[in-house]
Structure 1
Amino acid sequence: MSHHVVVLERDSLKARVRRPRFEHTYEEYAHTPPDQIVARLRFATVAIINKVQLSNEILAQLPKLKMVAISATGYNGIDIAACRNRGIAVANIRNYAIHTVPEHVFALVLALRRNLVAYRYEIEQGAWQKSEQFCLFTHHISELSGSTMGIIGEGAIGQGTAAIARGFGMRVLFAYHDSSKKKEVRLTPLDQVMAESDVLSLHCPLTPATQNLIGIEELRKMKRSALLINTARGGLVNEAALVQALDEGLIAGAGFDVLTEEPPVNGNPLLDLRRPNFILTPHVAWASDQAMQVLADQLIDNIEAWVAGKPQNLVT
């Protein structure tokens, strides 16, 4: 069987994507608006997507489609049940960001715990230049050693984050929550993790069970000196509640790499925060050059394995 492979979001990958090693035809688009999905996939047997939404309604119009290869780990934009019912295989990417995301987590943590943004601003305003001594003591600096890191999500990235935390001399607690399935690590009740963590880092998928997992009541359970880090998915944290928590001093700060809508074309309350104890980055924790190439290679590996009758990384 000759396959027709269609790439809908090529610009979402800054890596070399090799052509599959089987007989096929190939189409590639830099990006695809919603009203072009059906037209571009009408003759596809294999679709390569990232954030494109594939609903049951859309899938019903694509009778030739046999496989969806996601160039990401998350698949909440795809109707998985509809794919199963139609015999469409769906494969995602696993364990490609086990270094880059944890490193980004600690870039945020260190910047916040050592108040780097605040000190940089003061230098720009000339405060150091006017100081009567050799240094400034205008903001608190806190060491990580001896503090507690809570992690929600005990997968490969959560484990990678824990390894770095232990390297800093931190105590690590993995939180039990409704979507926890793996038991390879000891899990601690979420309320206890919320109360004891000096840094809480999120590494779980966005599901109906984890939507708004962290709201104002959960934020009230945290230490006022604690940090909240989200490099996982927008929607895990109620963003309005986070703004309230920062305004009221319920937590010491937050570092986010994700928003509920990306790109945030309709605005977002976190975009308007201008404060040294909040850092927002544009969903780039995963995007080191090395991780992107691992992702691109695994993406094609998944397709080739499925065509060879030995599927891997299936979510259907």
Structure 2
Amino acid sequence: MSARIVFLDRATLPCTVRRPDLPHHWCEFAASTPAEAAVRLHDATVAITNKVPITAQVLQAAPQLQLIAVAATGYNIIDLPACRERGVAVCNVRDYAVHGVAEHALMLMLALARQLPAYRADVAAGAWQRAPGFCHFGAPMRDLAGCRLCVVGAGALGQATAQLARAFGMQVHFVERRGATAVRPGYLDFETALASADVLSLHCPLTEATRHLIDAAALARMKPDALLINTARGELVDEAALLAALRAHRLGGAGLDVLGEEPPRNGNPLLDAALPNLIITPHVGWASAQTMAQLAEQLTANIEAFLQGTPRNLV
């Protein structure tokens, strides 16, 4: 009997996706609401989702479902307890974006440290053309070399970012979990990291323990010229507190590839701030052609492995 595979939000992966080399029926939709997901999965064996939530209600409407293949690393959209209760396996894709996300994080660090947005605006406004000398001295720049980078999250993405940062001459430290009673060798405790970081880069998953990890109190502990980089999940950061810190000049800058609501259809004050030390990109750190191809291949391989009785990347 062939598996029925339903991809709920195919448009979120704009690249070729190889079909499993096994008997199956493939059905895909550009996008799905949770209500549509419940209908579309009613006879599915495998559900593929990138950002469509799979709730207990959706699972109840899909009695034949055996596997949820998440087309991403983060799986906070899945009701894992409900899946375990119903015997539905969940797998994700891992370590596919180690180059793309790490490069994106370094790009944000470099752009902020070297004041790229400010100098680009100056040139567009004619400031260089009017300069009395051969160059235009605008916003003060600094080198990454010698800066202390504190990395929150020591998984594949955090490690890859650390490796690139070391090549730039940065002093890299991983950060212990907030509230941890013991600090692992080579790590800094959370409070020390906040107070001493020249750059704080987030690479940890979003859980109830990490939601608003960087809140008003954390931002108040950071140095006034420190940079905050978030290429992980938007809700790791209290966005209102971040905006207040930037406007009050209590933070050197922020580079974000993620927001709490994506896409931000209801707007977001950070998008309207027009601050020269705030860079926001639309969750594209993972979106190079090479990175997406790796994701797509691993997604299909995960499904094949499960259907062959050798599941992998289970969460």
| TM-score, length basis structure 2 | 0.97
Q: What do the CA deviations read for 1:132-179 (whole angstroms, capped 9, x no partner)? A: 111011211101111100000000000000001110111111111159
Partner of 1:52: 52
Cα pair distance change 1:6/1:185, threshold 3 Å: farther
Cα pair distance change 1:78/1:191, threshold 3 Å: same
Deviation at 1:224, TM superposition (A): 0.9
Q: What do the CA deviations read for 1:241-279 (whole angstroms, capped 9, x no partner)? A: 000100111111000010111011111121111011000
Q: Report SS of the residue matched to 2:234.
A: coil
Match status 1:234 vs 2:226? no
User: Where do 1:300-315 residues align within 5 Å?
Assistant: 300-315=300-315
Q: Report SS of the residue matched to 1:174.
A: strand
Q: What do the CA deviations read for 1:179-216 (whole angstroms, capped 9, x no partner)? A: 98xx9973210111111110100000000000000011
Residues 178, 189 of structure 2: 8 Å contact kept: no
Gaps of 5+ in 2: none
Deviation at 1:23, TM superposition (A): 1.1
Gaps of 5+ in 1: none
AA of the residue aligned to 2:57: E
Partner of 2:201: 201
Match status 1:131 vs 2:126? no
Residues 175, 188 of structure 1: 8 Å contact kept: yes
Residues 179, 190 of structure 2: 8 Å contact kept: no
Deviation at 1:33, TM superposition (A): 2.3
Deviation at 1:58, TM superposition (A): 1.6
Partner of 1:168: 168
C-alpha distance in structure 2 between counterparts of 1:245 and 1:94, whole Å:
34
Deviation at 1:287, TM superposition (A): 0.9
Which has the larger displacement, 289-298 or 267-276? 267-276
Match status 1:296 vs 2:296? yes
Residues 92, 313 of structure 2: 8 Å contact kept: yes
User: Where do 1:24-103 residues align within 5 Å?
Assistant: 24-103=24-103
AA of the residue aligned to 2:100: T
Q: Report SS of the residue matched to 1:90.
A: strand
Deviation at 1:217, TM superposition (A): 0.9
How many residues are aligned here?
Answer: 313
C-alpha distance in structure 2 between counterparts of 1:95 and 1:83, whole Å:
24
C-alpha distance in structure 1 between counterparts of 2:280 and 2:179, whole Å:
26
User: Where do 1:221-260 residues align within 5 Å?
Assistant: 221-260=221-260
Partner of 2:151: 151
C-alpha distance in structure 2 between counterparts of 1:250 and 1:20, whole Å:
52
Q: What do the CA deviations read for 1:2-36 (whole angstroms, capped 9, x no partner)? A: 21011111111122111111111111111112321
Q: What do the CA deviations read for 1:271-300 (whole angstroms, capped 9, x no partner)? A: 111011000000001111101000000001
Q: What do the CA deviations read for 1:57-115 (whole angstroms, capped 9, x no partner)? A: 22111101110001000000110011011110100000000000010011111111011
C-alpha distance in structure 1 between counterparts of 2:268 and 2:13, whole Å:
25
Deviation at 1:222, TM superposition (A): 0.7
